[in-house]
Amino acid sequence: MIYSYGITLQGTYHVRNDIVCQDAHAIKSCGDDFVIAAVADGLGSEAHSDVASKMAAEISTEYCKQHISLTSSTDEILDVIRVSFTNSQRAIEDEALSNNHDAGQYDTTLSLAVLINDTLFYGHSGDSGIVALTSEGRYENVTEQQRDEEDCVFPLFFEERWVFDQFDKKVCSVFLATDGIYETLFPYLIKNEPVSIHVNLAQYFMDNRSLRIDEVGEAAVRARIEDFINNIPNEQVNDDKTVVVLVNASADFTPQPDEYYEEPDWVELKRKRDDEWKRQAYPHLFKDKSPDESQDEAVDDDCD
């Protein structure tokens, strides 16, 4: 049985500046073991992106619901997801035209997941993202954020950037989120570490051993996660916040070794990152020192 919850909340920055929520999500249950979900993030710089995000999430998931069945082949499913993206973008462009607006004012991202039993199919455009909990007990990033060298997002309009695929591992749960929440799972301090996802946070969002969604119900889980998201500090996330999670309560996974679940040593990671930055910014201060010597000096400086 696949359970789900979805949350979209207006960001504190948007509240303070009287900007509408530009995120959206949609979930379509197609049976006990078949669920479709999407998240969309309207670009903050565009006047009508809130309209576009709602349209993209709803149109894409509804089209997939109408055209995918349990007997559909992999190629058929991926073709349907692709058409759902095309239909969403065309509908958005028609909406802009009918209102005499520039279509660029309706830019949005779109990430969509089709979970059938323990198999994940997906489509992706933009800088939102999808994470899977595999049957091996690992949290794996399914998508990559699509931004250019100036950190500008490639929205749904950029059809050549669309990605469609079947995830290559069996999954127990799927996490979709717009960039504000998605990026909290990938803190910059662990970007280059052996485990680059914040495992404990991922567990909280999508591990049914923590959620117990089949025991307490979807509404209770949604309320608990919404309360958690509402209490994320502004300095960490002030953008709109959207998360959708699909949980196959019938699927189980093999736990990883204990060290996989250990909380990172954030203080040491920050010290190491600061030292790396100093080496890049002031190489002349370090050219005659070994890494161990410079680290010792950094420790001494902290003690002074």
90-148: pLDDT as tens digits: 999 999 999 999 999 999 999 999 999 999 999 999 999 999 999 999 999 999 999 99
Q: Are 24 and 37 in contact (CB under 8 A)?
A: no
Tokens of 29: 């249950």
Residue 290 pLDDT: 53
The alpha carbon of residue 23 and the mean position of all alpha carbons in its chain are separated, in whole angstroms, by 12
Residue 97 pLDDT: 97
Distance from the first to the final alpha carbon of the chain: 59
Other beta carbons within 10 Å of 265:
11
Tokens of 273: 């990152």
Residue 300 pLDDT: 43
Q: Which of 6, 5, 10, 4 is nearest to 241 (CA)?
A: 10
Residue-wise pLDDT tens for the chain (304 aa)? Answer: 999 999 999 999 888 988 899 999 999 999 999 999 999 999 987 889 999 999 999 999 999 999 999 999 999 999 999 999 999 999 999 999 999 999 999 999 999 999 999 999 999 999 999 999 999 999 999 999 999 999 999 999 999 999 999 999 999 999 999 999 999 999 999 998 999 999 999 999 999 999 999 999 999 999 999 999 999 999 899 999 999 999 999 998 999 999 999 999 999 999 988 888 888 878 877 765 555 554 454 444 444 3
The alpha carbon of residue 124 and the mean position of all alpha carbons in its chain are separated, in whole angstroms, by 11
Residue 298 pLDDT: 43
Residue 1 pLDDT: 95
Residue 303 pLDDT: 40
Tokens of 206: 């999508």
CA dist 9 → 6, 41, 70, 77, 212 (Å): 10, 12, 33, 30, 23
Q: Helix, strand, coil % (nearest 5) of the chain?
A: 45, 25, 35
- Name the CA dihedral angle for 281, 285, 291, 295, rounded to a multiple of 10 degrees: -90
Residue 301 pLDDT: 43
Question: From CA 195, how far away is CA 227, in angstroms rounded?
Answer: 27
Tokens of 15: 């509240």
